[in-house]
Amino acid sequence: MKKYLGIIVVASGAAIAAAMIWFIIHVRPTPGAELDRIKVAPDVEAVIRAEQGTDERDFLELWEHGKMKWQALIPRYAGSPGRPAIAYGPTAITVRVARDGHAEVFAFSTQSAEKIGGYRIAAEHEPIATHPDGPITMTDHVRAYEIAAGPGWHQIAAIDLATGKGQWKRELGGAPITDGGVDTSGVWLVQDGKRHLFDPLTGADR
């Protein structure tokens, strides 16, 4: 029996290794269909892809000059074509995600895909579902301005792109927000048919 022991050990090890290889190949997250593609800077695009076999996670890809620079696995992307949930800056990119009733922003290094920060929007209103209409993410490439909403409330929060940390937030009431953006005058929203303007640094009315 002893002379067969070595053979049994080697065979067992080979079987375990084969099982592990099979597990890695079949369980490893695999990118699927493209969900959104956003031009964030000249020759730079953010691409969102679904993960094959699940609706709980997606992939964020950063493309430069037509080539993929990096890819990161994220919770479910909160945006959709025409309603971007991405903000891009020189050193970081943020993506709005939805999971377990949270509205969250993840910040990644544009150079390495390292996660450098995160922020939960309107945590006091949870659970939160992504609102079906109006803007989600707006940006001036310095901060991301995120809208979250629910029955009877809206909130805007500013997130520093360099750190992924929140800078300010404002409660905006229950009237629908139909449009928004950032220009030289500040952060603007159209709520209940009226245009409102906020200071990008503080969130104060302008």
pTM: 0.85
In a domain, 50, yes or no: yes
Question: What is the pLDDT at residue 14?
Answer: 57
Looking up residue 157, the CATH number of its domain turns out to be: 2.130.10.10
pLDDT per residue of the chain (206 residues) written in tens, 0 to 9: 555 555 555 555 555 655 555 444 446 899 999 999 999 999 999 999 999 999 899 999 999 999 999 999 999 999 999 999 999 999 999 999 999 999 999 999 999 999 999 999 999 999 999 999 999 999 999 999 999 999 999 999 999 999 999 999 999 999 999 999 999 999 999 999 999 999 999 999 99
HEC sequence for the chain: CHHHHHHHHHHHHHHHHHHHHHHHHHHCCCEEEEEEEEEEECCEEEEEEEECCCCCEEEEEEEECCEEEEEEEEEEECCECCECCEEECCCEEEEEEEECCEEEEEEEECCCCCEEEEEEECHHHCCCCCCCCCCCEEECCCEEEEEEEECCEEEEEEEECCCCCEEEEEECCCCCEEEEEEECCEEEEEECCEEEEECCCCCCEC
Question: What is the pLDDT at residue 28?
Answer: 82
In a domain, 44, yes or no: yes
Q: Which residues pair with 95 in a beta bridge?
A: 86, 106
In a domain, 205, yes or no: no
In a domain, 67, yes or no: yes
In a domain, 19, yes or no: no
In a domain, 25, yes or no: no
In a domain, 144, yes or no: yes
Question: What is the pLDDT at residue 5?
Answer: 58
Question: What is the pLDDT at residue 8?
Answer: 57
Instruction: Read off the tokens for 166.
Output: 């929140």
Question: What is the pLDDT at residue 76?
Answer: 97
Whole-angstrom distance, CA of residue 29 vs CA of residue 36: 19
* Tally of domains in the chain: 1
Question: What is the pLDDT at residue 46?
Answer: 98
| Beta-carbon count within 10 A of 89 CB | 20
Structural domain harbouring 115 = 30-198
In a domain, 13, yes or no: no
Residue 70 CA, chain-centre distance (Å), reads 15
